[in-house]
């Protein structure tokens, strides 16, 4: 996996026959944007969990075919209210992405249009980009006839370029969404080399996989003010050594993350190591440390140092 460097022209095709562009995946928290990105790519780039605001970064997922290169931009869920600096940074990251893309795919949940969806829609329309509405989680709708009045109602909320009902989890109707996106990409050469699948580094992907395992294992027990930083990443011919710091905001949070006799931390390390070995194709030697950094989620400087809100 080529995972570093800047966008560059790959030289496939000509400007008259090839299409390429940036497509933002936007929506409120927990509507399935990251699951959708992973399914579209056929590769796990963004972490997922049932916990809101799992996505904290702008992540590019690059899908290259013979006729087009679609660069999907996964974004944090847009939520109402200002809250802590972390909340403001996540909203800023998501909304700023709309100014840099050619097209937006707004992801909403079937039969569950909310005030937050309406807020997202206002931001998307204000950006002045074509908008495709992806109505996700249709696999949960029983009977399917209940979907028709919902689709009619949301179609009246804006002049959408297209409305595509789908299930990101089941991979249902994704080809229809891809076709709608591809038809609206600008004509031009690829933005990235054809073997690139993301703009993110191995170090970043490792930190995210560890954070995902924490989110999934701890569930509602998990302190909101938790993040992961890779302190050391050393790649050898057959081995990767990495030291990861798990930052929490209060001393009382440490035992939650470590668990009784270290069981939670050990399980998280085992799950993350197995997944990273499959991802990188090398053995992983991993050390995890839990440390306290009080108030980091409400500290703009700390967020910048941790790469959040960049």
- CATH superfamily, domain 19-183, is P-loop containing nucleotide triphosphate hydrolases (3.40.50.300)
What mean pLDDT is predicted for residues 14-39?
A: 90
Query: 19 pairs with which residues across the strands?
Result: 68, 187
pLDDT value for 310: 65
Among 75-89, 189-203, 231-245, 286-300, which stretch is predicted with the lowest mean pLDDT?
A: 75-89
Give residue 33's Cα distance to chain centre.
7
Nearest Cα residue to 253 out of 286, 227, 287: 227
Enumerate the domain spans of the chain. Answer: 19-183, 202-305
pLDDT digits (tens, 9 = 90+) for 140-188: 999 999 999 999 999 999 999 999 999 999 999 999 999 999 999 999 9
Q: For the chain, what is the mean pLDDT?
A: 91
CATH 3.40.50.620 fits domain 202-305: no
Nearest Cα residue to 96 out of 42, 150, 57: 57
What distance in Å separates the CA atoms of residue 105 and residue 113, rounded to the nearest whole number? 16
């Amino acid at each position: 996996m080529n995972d570093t460097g800047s966008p560059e022209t790959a030289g496939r095709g000509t400007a008259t026959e090839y299409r390429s562009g940036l497509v933002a995946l936007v929506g409120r928290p927990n509507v399935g944007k990251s699951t959708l990105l992973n399914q579209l790519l056929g590769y796990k780039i963004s972490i997922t969990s049932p916990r809101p605001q799992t996505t904290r970064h702008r992540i590019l997922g690059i899908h290259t075919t013979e006729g087009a290169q679609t660069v999907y931009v996964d974004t944090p869920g847009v939520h109402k209210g200002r809250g802590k600096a972390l909340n403001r940074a996540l909203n800023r990251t998501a909304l700023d992405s709309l100014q840099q893309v050619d097209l937006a795919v707004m992801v909403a949940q079937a039969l569950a249009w909310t005030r937050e969806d309406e807020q997202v829609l206002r931001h998307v329309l204000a950006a002045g980009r074509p908008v495709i509405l992806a109505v996700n989680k249709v696999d949960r709708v029983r009977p399917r006839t209940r979907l028709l009045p919902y689709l009619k109602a949301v179609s009246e909320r804006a002049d959408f370029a297209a409305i595509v009902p789908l299930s990101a989890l089941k991979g249902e109707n994704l080809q229809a969404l891809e076709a709608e996106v591809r038809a609206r990409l600008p004509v031009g050469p690829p933005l990235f080399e054809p073997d690139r699948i993301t703009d993110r580094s191995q170090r970043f992907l490792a930190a995210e996989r560890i954070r995902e395992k924490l989110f999934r294992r701890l569930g509602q027990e998990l302190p909101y003010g938790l993040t992961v930083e890779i302190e050391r990443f050393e790649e050898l011919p057959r081995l990767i050594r990495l030291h990861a710091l798990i930052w929490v905001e209060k001393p009382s949070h440490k035992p939650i993350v470590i668990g009784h006799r270290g069981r939670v931390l050990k399980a998280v390390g085992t799950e993350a190591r197995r997944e990273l070995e499959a991802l990188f194709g090398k053995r992983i030697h991993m050390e995890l440390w839990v440390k306290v950094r009080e108030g980091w989620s409400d500290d703009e400087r700390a967020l910048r140092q941790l790469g959040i809100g960049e």
